[in-house]
């Protein structure tokens, strides 16, 4: 029997398709194919794409370089969703064109917050006690 899920329980197929979508979106944004001033003036990282089990929906996690103008970048991505969906559907062969939903990737902020907590004096003194 072949294992078709990762240890986290997500299908390998969903991960593979999500990675293909991420790659296409990253390429479109990097090359400036989206005719939008906000998107052309910001470097945007597509950090992850999570596909729904039926592959009809894609949650796209994005982060502008240095977190600058995050709200403006998200707004611009949402305004250009139809174009981006068409391009993804054209380049990633799927039965249905996935609906894209753009959200801010907060994982960097969480990592920075945890790092800051670990470096705080209160935590450092507890760690030194061992």
Q: Mind listing the domains of the chain with CATH numbers?
A: 12-105 (3.30.300.20)
What confidence score (pLDDT) does residue 93 get? 83
Q: How many Cβ atoms are within 10 Å of 36's Cβ, its own excluded?
A: 17
Task: Give percent of the chain with pLDDT exceeding 70.
Answer: 81
Q: For the whole model, what pTM was predicted?
A: 0.76
62 in Cβ contact with 77 (< 8 Å)? yes
* Each residue's pLDDT expressed in tens, for the chain with a length of 130 residues: 445 555 555 688 899 999 999 999 999 999 989 999 999 888 999 999 999 999 999 999 999 887 778 899 999 999 999 999 999 999 998 878 899 999 998 876 666 667 677 777 777 776 665 5
Whether the CB-CB separation of 61 and 21 falls below 8 Å is answered with no
pLDDT at 129: 56
């Amino acid at each position: 029997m072949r294992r078709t899920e990762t240890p986290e329980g997500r299908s390998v197929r969903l991960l593979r398709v999500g990675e293909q979508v991420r790659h296409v979106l990253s390429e479109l944004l990097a090359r400036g194919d989206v005719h939008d001033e906000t998107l052309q003036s910001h470097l945007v990282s597509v950090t992850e794409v999570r596909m729904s089990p039926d592959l009809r929906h894609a949650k796209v996690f994005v982060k502008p370089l240095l977190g600058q103008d995050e709200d403006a970048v998200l707004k611009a991505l949402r305004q250009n969703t139809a174009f981006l969906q068409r391009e993804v559907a054209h380049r990633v062969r799927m039965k249905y064109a996935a609906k894209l939903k753009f959200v801010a990737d907060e994982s960097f902020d969480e990592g920075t917050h945890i790092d800051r907590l670990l470096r705080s004096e209160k935590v450092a003194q507890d760690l030194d006690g061992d």
